[in-house]
Structure 1
Amino acid sequence: MKDPVDILSALADPTRLGAIRLLWDGEEHCVCELMRKLGASQSRMSRHMATLKVAGLVIDRRDAQWVRYRRNPALSPAVAAVVDAALALPVTEKAEEIAA
């Protein structure tokens, strides 16, 4: 199991939490879609996704020039419960700005 500090740190950033919110549907999402929906540049989004990947929350797959991300299907029930709890928290103004 990954270090709880890595998991909680990964979820602490509004852009990363927004990405997790989008990826939590279990489907693959292209980095271009995440960039557009979260208002992030390609380099910024890539850094955020790398953090989520290191924390073990997402996996990726290269598709030509794009990278597609999805929820890590091998997450332990305990880690999935932590993410579910984070996603259940009320969305703050800052998170709404990012998601808009």
Structure 2
Amino acid sequence: MPVLHAAPTLDEQVEILKALADPVRLDLLRRIAAVDEMACTDLVDESHVSASTVSYHIKTLRTAGLVQVRKEGRNFHYTYRPEAARALAAALNSLG
């Protein structure tokens, strides 16, 4: 997970934009952001995609710093990290 600075590096901005560019990932992120924390099983049920597909897309969201993953036993729980999106928004706003 990248360490986000006040102004994300160009590489960090690109990773966040790539993560948000996929409709499935954006849908998953919206669902996670709507609650404090979401269990993987709930995300699979709500999004109607397979657990392996969720896992694949969560990895990209996590790499971009948009999602935090917590493991409890055999279950995974996801939390939205808004600071990554805020840092990207600030960088985009600075363009003029």
Query: Normalized against structure 1, the TM-score is what?
Result: 0.71
- Unmatched tracts of structure 2, length 5 or more: 91-96
Larger radius of gyration between Structure 1 and Structure 2? 2
Moved >4 Å (runs of 4+) = none
CA separation in 1, counterparts of 2:28 and 2:85? 19
Return the match for 1:70 from 79, 82, 88: 79
After the TM superposition, which of the residue ranges 69-78 and 46-55 deviates more from structure 2? 69-78
How far did 1:63 drift? Answer: 1.5
Distance 2:39 2:72 in 1: 9
1:29 matched residue in structure 2: 38
Q: Which residue of 2 aligns with 1:8?
A: 17
Deviates more, 1:54-63 or 1:2-11: 2-11
Identity, in percent, stands at 35
User: How does the TM-score come out when normalised to structure 2?
Assistant: 0.73
Q: Secondary structure at the match of 1:16?
A: helix
**Count of matched residue pairs:** 81
Cα root mean square deviation, aligned? 2.0
